[in-house]
Structure 1
């Protein structure tokens, strides 16, 4: 699940209580929990390590890192999300800031983590320059995110589905940032770059809000008509009710090291 239903790190929208509840539910999905665990492993997270979690949202990853003995700092440009995080985890370090202007000293952290953030950045290169600045030599970076052109959705109208997916992608600052992770990290001077892909398969009703959001955005942009969007949404709701919904969502996990 992505925080695009609230614009995590680009144009910030005020999150509603319903959105926060939806994000909380997404955070508890088994595949999402597994991805977070993998990101911590790639960071080498452990006692005494310091990590900045960029686009931290309501702060779950910050607290999970703290449980591993990590000194974690969560940053997010959304003041409401930071307020929620501070309310839930009053002992943690949360700061209002974006990926392009981290409130950290040079070479001050051992790890940098950004989960579903880079697709919202028009200039991901600037964010990686900040990552290089705040990471110590030998420090680790982990990026997690989906490629917005690669939503795989079963439907009765594959042409319309392709139009909806691509139209939604075109509304995002960097919809294909995830497929660029390796080259972005290499261009920024990182070493030991690796990329993995984990594909989530969803067949129930939990992802209906995401599918509805895709169609509504495509309709709002003028890429599809209201009639087509409504018909497509109705078809997906029917599929979900009959246990025939199918969504596959590849998520890319990149990791790298700052040269010593």
Structure 2
């Protein structure tokens, strides 16, 4: 595959992912979850807060609107370009979670949302968060539990197979439930964890199910015919108002 083709594929995948994120982020439960994460940061006006794995940049813009210097960090060039285009006045940096472009003890808040399941060594990212946070600074990790995604379906066994097969393809699929332990082992204090469940009934979230089924099918966990039948059932549910997906999120917070 040529570099141009790889870039085009990456751009298309980024656009597809952004469409899923946008649909989810606009739901009332997601709005409440983001607001809760900002509350747990204990924002100090004028201080620097970094949003690691910032994606499309929505949280960066919202944090800046709360009176802090918000900086979005992401390692995906197409994602960063999209974020900068959407929020031209916001500040973004190209960097990995394990190597942040900030001096020691230089930021007051650290936030990562739907990121740690992508990291092979999340403990390294926690150590880097500890490095850049000033004494008393706050860290908030928001992560979904990929093993526990709930989807209403006529075929519960196949649904479990698809959900678990997709989870097993991720670097650290259970990072959400592990976030408390990650912070404790990282030397943080006042570690607390909450569980929130987001419920989606909007047909716009059908694209999420395709992102579950396609990798599970490609990995050989289910055959093409069964995956197609499962997705067809979900489309019928969406057309008749019977579609439901529920995703548990863990929100872990602590002080440096």
Normalised TM-score (structure 1): 0.91
Q: Secondary structure at the match of 1:83?
A: helix
Q: Secondary structure of the residue that 1:111 maps to in structure 2?
A: strand
CA shift, 1:49, in A, is 2.1
Mapped partners of 2:150, 2:102: distance in 1: 39
- Per the alignment, residue 43 of structure 1 pairs with 41
- The worse-fitting range, judged by mean Cα deviation, of 140-149 and 155-164 is 155-164
**Conservation of the 8 A alpha-carbon contact between 2:20 and 2:208:** no
Structure 2, unpaired ranges of 5+: 1-8
Q: Which residue of 1 aligns with 2:252?
A: 254
* CA distance 1:248–1:19, change in 2 (3 Å): closer
Pair 163,17 (structure 1): closer, same or farther in 2 beyond 3 Å: closer
User: What is the match of residue 67 of structure 1?
Assistant: 65
Find the residue that maps to 2:146 and give its secondary structure: coil
- Name the structure 1 match of 2:56: 58
- Check 1:22–1:215 CA distance in 2 against 1; reply closer, same or farther (3 A cut): closer
Q: Deviations over 1:50-105 (max 9, x none)?
A: 11110111211111111111011111001122122223333322110010110000
State how far apart, in whole Å, the 2-side matches of 1:149 and 1:190 are: 26
Distance (Å, rounded) in 1 between the aligned partners of 2:180 and 2:64? 28
> 1:113 aligns to what?
111
C-alpha distance in 1, partners of 2:129/2:42? 17
SS in 1 for 2:221: coil
Structure 1 stretches (4+) deviating beyond 2 angstroms? 12-27, 84-92
Q: Distance in 2 between matches of 1:24 and 1:214?
A: 17
SS of 2:78's equivalent in the other structure is helix
**Deviations 1:177-198 (Å, cap 9, x if unpaired)?**
0000111100000011111111
Paired residues of 1:46 and 1:68 also in contact (CA < 8 A): no
- 1:110-259 correspondence to structure 2 within 5 Å: 110-258=108-256
Q: Distance in 1 between the 2:78 and 2:108 partners?
A: 27
Does the CA-based 8 Å contact 1:142-1:254 persist in structure 2? yes
> Is the 2:20–2:207 Cα contact (8 Å) retained in structure 1?
no
CA distance in 1, matches of 2:25, 2:202: 16
The number of equivalent residue pairs is 247
Deviations 1:121-144, CA, capped at 9 Å, x for gaps: 010000001000000111100000
Q: Counterpart of 2:220 in 1: which secondary structure?
A: coil
- Compute the displacement of 1:204 (Å): 2.9
- The alignment partner of 2:229 has SS state of helix
Pair 1:85-2:86 in alignment: no
Gaps of 5+ in 1: 1-11
RMSD: 1.5
Residue number in structure 2 paired with 1:7: none
Please report how far the alpha carbon of residue 13 of structure 1 lies from its aligned counterpart in structure 2 after TM superposition: 3.7
2:221, 2:198 → 1: CA distance? 27
Greater share of helix residues, 1 or 2? 2
Partners of 2:42 and 2:106 lie apart in 1 by 16
* Alignment TM-score, normalising by the size of structure 2: 0.92
The answer to whether the 8 A contact 2:14-2:79 is kept is: no
Structure 1 CA distance for aligned equivalents of residues 232 and 57 of structure 2: 35
1:19 Cα offset (Å): 4.1
Q: Which residue of 2 aligns with 1:6?
A: none
